[in-house]
Structure 1
């Protein structure tokens, strides 16, 4: 469970911004049963979902990229780099001070019934700072704090971290957390496992998780669940089956290196290469009587929206079944607004989401604001100022007398009441019209 995520001096975010998933007390009477996770141990209420709106280039996708960077660097910094390798980080470049300052990331989360707070600061050359705190009950305990290559470590609780520092194993461009997880430290592994439960996807490039969904269809129970979602989406799909690549029938004009790779992979133990997913659709006669099933190619015959929704079913089921976190950039891309609503409803449901999985996504689909699916504290906005720096804020940050629980969120957002919409006055300006007219005269 993610409680809070903060990032500063990263790409379009000059100053520190925070997405807070703790539920607001002002919205206690709004969708409290379905949209809220209650934690009795720490006595807080957490949101099951959050949506981020904003104009183009306002920072919505960059915020998602910040989460993706933190996850990747936490898991891989020690094993995927060598001494002297540059860290792939980009600070805010439109300010002379920030461009030479470190980028900061911090996340507060709950895993295995223990609350953690972990963060780090990095620039392209080194880890500037790193910290990890644990809250087993009511008091937060510092497990370690790092200032460059100087470390303060809880000797009893974080023994392998202390050993790694003593032996000089911590590189200046790698995280202590990443290293100690490799050394099988139980706390570090627990934190890394939480990062692995953070499933991050691009809604524009479903090919990145299409293969995962295909692999899940090989499990009979999961295939049935995928089919249930496909049928519920009213796509006309009755069944799916995998079409395997026949090595003996490879195209003759296939490049030699690709042919050799496919043959090599096919010879590996239990290796099957899927060439396509076939979908079954019902065929009817002139009297609308069902007579047969027709098979379509997922890649050739199905729409881009169907392909994306099919690709999403695997990750969505995985997240719901295990209580993970799903982070999607451009969730609504290629999907009908009603279908997006149904996907969100899966997470904002006490019955369909019993393991309290969470969904965080960004979108331009304003229909969702009028759907009644969200409380004010679940609706977030990014906005960029005249200096190019983006901010992040919630609808719950507005005074309750200016934004009421039941007002028309969609209409008010479109007309700019909450900010976070593009200024398009240039389209109506006289200068713009003159430029167009000049272009026409030149032709």
Structure 2
């Protein structure tokens, strides 16, 4: 087995909590160093689809998820070590606050040997800034913090006060002024998708210029990353043609999921349920999550596509529908404003948008074929007469999600991370039955 060892500058961009501005700071840092001619690789801690879209545009490189539970510790080490072979800088964007969650961003940083670089929103703050930085740095002695970033400062003098407040051993990488360039629109599931922002490149260049003016061109400390290369996936999908929905309505797709399908031998064909009139000729179909609720009228009006997907299902061909894909499979989709759209009708009942988050948290689908790890996160609810054949197991957060199966269709609000259970994923896309485990039965993964 080949071992990869490489050294490069790296940091975990984190914060005391959500809303501090770390996503845009990470993107702006990536663009700043990319514009300086460096190769920058960015990763995202935890299950997230939207931030990576922006980070890919910012860095010009693919972005993968890192999460000790969902992706596994070995995969975290391998992806970072592989990237370090030719990257001048590695940035990992944390999730929530530095110590929030289990495993937290701090847990990942410690496992990988990467220092944390907290972004602290300094609005309305002076000397207390130093207390916050000291608290983050001293909370866990195994979590090194050498520098912090002050965000949304009001003036140069404000930045000087923040710098002076820091305790010995902690420096200020930069003080970022309040600037519209550091903002990206968001909606109920997070940031607006990168593809919906026609001026995203301009915004990122402007944000990078703001960081340059704040003197943030200095690279973080270099770290050495090492990992054994993984074994290639088994060719369990050799010869299988899989059509994958990918457009503004269906875009929540982990790169690692697509990599695995291809690595197992599948031929991947992408199509748009919004604009295409026919499906590619395929053996199996994947409707991933996304924002079907924003495109209900367009989806409902594309009758040729609806009929093509129905025909695929009626023929008993395999089909996986995740979250937004499940919503599209319902008979009706009800928007918040009361508009109702007739959609695929493969699942009896109605998917309705709610005023608040309906589910959130890490979950797994445990079967004899493997343990598929992932998460749930949605603002809609499904009312259906169907009974699930299985339920995911809640690791953290809200209640477990039902999993529905019928005539080759596997549908759930659950988002799976495919590399965690290749055999189960292959079983689903080959249309073969899988066997859910009871609470007391062990899984193979």
Please report the TM-score for the alignment, with normalisation by the length of structure 1.
0.27
Q: Which has the larger radius of gyration?
A: 1
Please report the TM-score for the alignment, with normalisation by the length of structure 2.
0.27
Name the structure, 1 or 2, with higher relative contact order (CA <8 Å, separation 6+).
Answer: 1
